Amino acid sequence: MQFFGGSEISPSPPVPTASGNNAHMMYIFNRNGVCLLYREWNRPLRTLDSNQDHKLMFGLLFSLKSLTAKMDPSSTEKGNLGVPQLPGQGCSFHSFRTNTYKLSFMESPSGIKIILVTHPKASDLRESLKYIYNLYVEYVVKNPLYTPGTPIRSVENLIDFNFHYTIGPEASYSTQLLTNMCEVSDDLAQVSLLQHLVYNG
Amino acid sequence: MAPAVPRSGDAIFANVERVNAELFTLTYGAIVRQLLTDLEEVEEVNKQLDQMGYNIGIRLIDEFLAKSNVTRCVDFRETAEVIAKVGFKMFLGVTASVTNWDTEGTCCSLILDDNPLVDFVELPDTCQGLYYCNILSGVVRGALEMVSMKTKVTWVRDMLRGDDAFELQVKLLKQVPEEYPYKDDE
C-alpha cells in the first residue's frame, strides 16, 4: 500500500542545473526556540505563516531529538520519553530525507540549532553546517551590537551566510538574495557593496 | 563521514588571530581603573567585572565550540579538564590545572600557571578588597551557563593579594536541561 511506484506518480523536484548545493531554506534557532535567522531561496509552497512555521520546525526537531535519543540501542540510560535532555547529550540525529527534500540538522552544545533544507540528492552536509556555525560565530556572536537571543537583523551578516550558496553558478539565487537584502536596507551604498562582494568574492 | 576530532588547545591557539599581550594587559588595566573611578566602591567594581565577564562568556562559548570541535562533556570532571586545557589555552595562551575535587565531583579548583591580566599590576592600599581578575570568573560562569550548567565561580587565591598562585574555584550548582519553550495551547 505504501509503494505506488517510482517517479511517475510522486513528482520529484527538478534536478539541480549547476554543481554545488541548492539550498531551499535555512533556519537558525537558539536554545529557547527563538528563530534567529530564516532564509529561503526556493520555496514554492508555504502552508503556514512564519511564526507557526518556526514553531513547527522547532517543535519537530525537539521531538525528533528526544525520540532518537530514547530509541538509541547502544545507550545505557533508561530515561523516560519526554524528560528534557541536555543539548548534545545522547545520540544526535543529523538528517532526514523525503522524496522532495532533505533536511540536515546540527546542534551545538550551547543549543544553537542550524537547519538546512536542500534537494534530496544532496550529500552529507555536516561540513557545511559547521561552516555556517563558524560564520555565525564570526559575524553574529562577535558583533558587540548584537544582543544574544534576538533575531539577526543586520544586513552585513547575511553576506557570508550566503556566500557558500550564491557564488558562481548559483547567481540566480544571489540576485534573489540581493533583492531580499534591499528590502531590509534602503542604503544604496550598502547594496552596491554587497553586489561587489558577492560577485567578486 | 568520521566526526571531527577535538583539537588541542595549542593547535587552536596557533591558528587564531592574536593580539599583543601588553596591549591586552594595559587595556584591561585601563578598564579596571575606569571602573574604580566611576564606581568608587570596590565591591561594586567586583560585581561589574563579573557581569562584564558573564556577557563575554555567553558569546565566548560559541566561538569555543566552533573552533575546538569538542563534543558534549559527559560529566563535570571532563568539563573542568576541557576548560583548563583547551579553553584557557585557546583564549589566554596559558594552561591551567585542575585540582581539589570534592567527593561528589561537583567542585574543583583551576590553578592558572600564569595570568596575562596581571602583568605590571600592584594593588594599592585603597583597593584591598578588589578581585582584579574577576572578569575571568564571570567568563567561566557565563560560558557554563550556556551549556546548561549553573555554577558559582570564585577566586580562592589571588597573587595580587599576597597568595602564591591564582586559584579559581568552580562549583556546579545544577544542570538545567532544555525544556520545550512553547506553551501547549498553541
The residues facing B174 across adjacent strands are B150
- Residue A183 C-alpha cell reads as 528590502
Say how far apart CA B19 and CA B59 lie, in whole Å. Answer: 19
Contact A110 B61 (CB under 8 A): yes
The three-point CA angle B67-B69-B71 to 5° equals 145
* Residues of A (33-72) whose Cβ lies below 8 Å from B: 33, 55, 58-59, 62
Contact residues, chain A, for B177 at CB < 8 Å: 83-86
A86 touches chain B (CB under 8 A): yes
pLDDT tens-digit map of B94-141:
989 998 888 888 899 999 988 988 988 988 888 888 999 999 999 999
Mean pLDDT of all residues in chain A? 70
The three-point CA angle B174-B175-B176 to 5° equals 115
Contact residues, chain B, for A142 at CB < 8 Å: 59, 63
The stretches of B9-97 forming alpha helices (DSSP H) are 9-15, 21-39, 42-68, 76-82, 88-92
B146 touches chain A (CB under 8 A): yes
B61 touches chain A (CB under 8 A): yes
Output B164 or B4, whichever has higher pLDDT: B164
Q: Looking at the predicted structure, is the pLDDT value of residue B57 above 90?
A: yes
Contact residues, chain A, for B139 at CB < 8 Å: none
Contact A110 B147 (CB under 8 A): yes
CB B58 within 8 A of CB B147: no
Contact A89 B178 (CB under 8 A): no
The complex's ipTM? 0.83
Instruction: Look at residue A78 in the predicted model and tell me its pLDDT.
Output: 57
HEC profile of A110-160: CCCEEEEEECCCCCCCHHHHHHHHHHHHHHHHCCCCCCCCCCCCCCHHHHH
CB A134 within 8 A of CB A142: no
Output A8 or A21, whichever has higher pLDDT: A21
CA dist B97 → B7, B61, B133, B137, B184 (Å):
18, 20, 17, 16, 46
Confidence label for A111 from pLDDT (cuts 50, 70 and 90): confident
Instruction: Look at residue A103 in the predicted model and tell me its pLDDT.
Output: 92
B148 touches chain A (CB under 8 A): yes
pLDDT tens-digit map of A159-171:
555 544 543 234 3
Contact A89 B72 (CB under 8 A): yes
Quick one: how far is CA B26 from the chain centroid?
Answer: 19
